Amino acid sequence: MGLLDILTGKRKIKAPAESRLFAMSTAAVTLEMTLQLRSGGKAAIVFQPLATADFESIVTDMEEVLRGTGEDTGTGVERTDDSFGYRWMVLSDSDFEDLVVGVNVVSQALQDGGYGERILCAVFAFRDAHDQPVYWIYNYKRGAYYPFVPAGGAQRRDTERELRLKAQIGHELPVEAELERWFPLWGIPI
Amino acid sequence: MVGDMPRPTSFGKDTGLQLRMTFTMFLLGLVYVILVVALLGSGVNGVTVALLAGGLAAFQLFGSDKLALRAMGAREVTPAQAPELHAMIDRLCVQADLPKPKVAVADTRMPNAFALGRSPKSATVCATTGIMELLSPAELEGVMAHELTHVANRDVLVMTLASFFATIAAYVVQFGFLFGGGHGDDDDNPSAMVLFLVSIGVYVVSFFLMQALSRYREFAADRGAALITGRPSALASALTRIASGMQRIPDRDLRATQELSAFYIFPPGAGKAIGSIFSTHPPMEKRIAALQRLEMQLQGTA
């Protein structure tokens, strides 16, 4: 944001950065082979559902496309709305590659409709050797991933584990550099 | 449906507001140039005053946050203490592409919220327990998005800097009363008298200009909030609810805090303003009308 924007209080909501979503496709292999993190078979994309007619129709069309291709690829689609008013499109597929593709279908449909800035994030669920959940969250506006490991109990996260994951994955994933932007997502439904 | 309707690409654009804001700042600048010329004309006194005021402004920018929070009876809360509020702000920060500010809660029934801090990294947003009880989650989200926009727009910094010269003018006037009277008023220094008069003028004019600037920045924050949440009507609904809540509850709690460099969703002394040009916040009806225009842009019916 430039000086002029600060002075005039101009504020455009940021559109998605250049997509690095697909970095997860290759990183998932490393995650499984060297870090013993298996895919939980689920991924989700979270966005703000706007109460406008054309937004509704974009979402409905996009869901139809997903269900259509899902019959070939075996990807399941579910939608839930959380208590903060965000919509979760939950995809389930044992093939991890299909999950990434499915998430990209949703985000691409929203961006093509002119609503890319309404996307909050995408979430990929993994399970560690003890079957505990480990999430990788993709922030569209930053074009970067960060790990999120709930530690059980209210609003607790295993920050040490998250930092270690960042070091272990190295340069295979674009990881968010600013730690204060590793926003938690409590109550992830996948 | 999708085809012919105007796409909401213009959603949130308000060139008029931008122009008015720029013009106001230009006028403020002009007034201050006059003051500086007068200060230079009167010699060393002015420089001392400028240093003094500079120190004060720096203190206000760097040291006043904690004081302000304490004066409000606010305390910082952890995610475990206020999970809902934290989770809401987390999501808004992702949408607004901001680092997470500190989150505080003030234990008062007065429904209000405010933002502090000179930069996004050092910002604090605060909600009162009253506002969290009064509003629905979507309405509260609108209010917190309004505060986050103040943070993103660096409104504390802009307004503190904008008031810098007005503070100098105020000091010159005060010193004028203190020393000018002692020296005797008839004799030597005509430039001191000019400076005194100019300072009074600068103070009065800049007061009104700053109130205007503050109102424009409130409009900008409302608009920013609507952009972040995509729900202009939720914020409009929150504003009406806060306004009626304000009238029911006496504002004794907040009376002492009017001078704080905080950015409220709603002015603490609301309802008592004599005229709109004395007010830091635009009138409720105008804010709601602006939000309704945004909703129409969003719906493609504008």
The pLDDT assigned to B179 comes to 56
In angstroms, the separation between the Cα of residue A55 and the nearest Cα of chain B is 9
Scanning every residue of chain A, which has its alpha carbon at the shortest distance from the alpha carbon of B159?
Answer: A7
The count of domains in chain A is 1
Which of the four pLDDT bands, split at 50, 70 and 90, describes residue B2?
Answer: very low
Q: Which of A54, A113, A155 sits opposite B83 (nearest CB)?
A: A155
A54: CB partners within 8 A, 6+ apart: A113, B1, B2, B5, B7, B300
Scanning every residue of chain B, which has its alpha carbon at the shortest distance from the alpha carbon of A179?
Answer: B99
Which of the four pLDDT bands, split at 50, 70 and 90, describes residue B242?
Answer: confident
Comparing B114 with B39, the larger pLDDT belongs to: B114
Of the candidates A188, A124, A186, the one whose C-alpha atom is nearest the C-alpha of residue A153 is: A186
Q: Which of B9, B22, B95 sits opposite A8 (nearest CB)?
A: B22
Scanning every residue of chain B, which has its alpha carbon at the shortest distance from the alpha carbon of A119?
Answer: B95
Residue A186 domain-assigned? no
Whole-number percent of chain B with pLDDT over 70: 74
* Chain B residues near residue A1 by CB distance under 8 angstroms: 152
The dihedral through the CA atoms of A21, A23, A24, A26 has a sign that is positive
The pLDDT assigned to B184 comes to 45
* Chain B residues near residue A8 by CB distance under 8 angstroms: 18, 21-22, 220
* Chain B residues near residue A142 by CB distance under 8 angstroms: 97
3-state secondary structure (DSSP) of residue A109: helix
Residue A8 domain-assigned? no
pLDDT in tens, A54-94: 899 999 999 998 888 888 888 899 999 998 889 999 999 99
The pLDDT assigned to A9 comes to 65
**Residue B241 pLDDT > 80:** yes
Residue A7 domain-assigned? no
Check CB contact under 8 Å for B1 and A156: no
**To the nearest 10°, the Cα dihedral for A161, A163, A166, A167?**
-100
- A148, containing H or E segment: strand A144-148
Check CB contact under 8 Å for A178 and B88: no
Check CB contact under 8 Å for B88 and A84: yes
Residue A2 domain-assigned? no
**Residue B256 pLDDT > 90:** no
**To the nearest 10°, the Cα dihedral for B38, B41, B42, B46?**
60
The pLDDT assigned to B268 comes to 60
Interface ipTM: 0.81
Provide the annotated active-site residues of B. 147
Domain of residue A75 covers 15-181
3-state secondary structure (DSSP) of residue B263: strand
Query: How many contacts, defined by CB atoms under 8 Å, are there between A and B?
Result: 118
The pLDDT assigned to B209 comes to 86
Check CB contact under 8 Å for B154 and A84: no
Q: For the residues B98-115, what does the mean pLDDT come to?
A: 90
Residue A3 domain-assigned? no
Contacts 24+ apart (CB under 8 A), B275-281: B277/B208, B277/B211, B277/B212, B278/B211, B279/B211, B279/B215, B280/B211, B280/B214, B280/B215, B280/B218, B281/B214, B281/B215, B281/B218
**Residue B38 pLDDT > 80:** no
Check CB contact under 8 Å for B137 and A83: yes
The pLDDT assigned to B167 comes to 77
Q: For the residues B107-135, what does the mean pLDDT come to?
A: 89
Which of the four pLDDT bands, split at 50, 70 and 90, describes residue B212?
Answer: confident
pLDDT in tens, B154-183: 888 888 888 877 777 777 777 766 555 444
A181 and B CB contact within 8 Å: yes
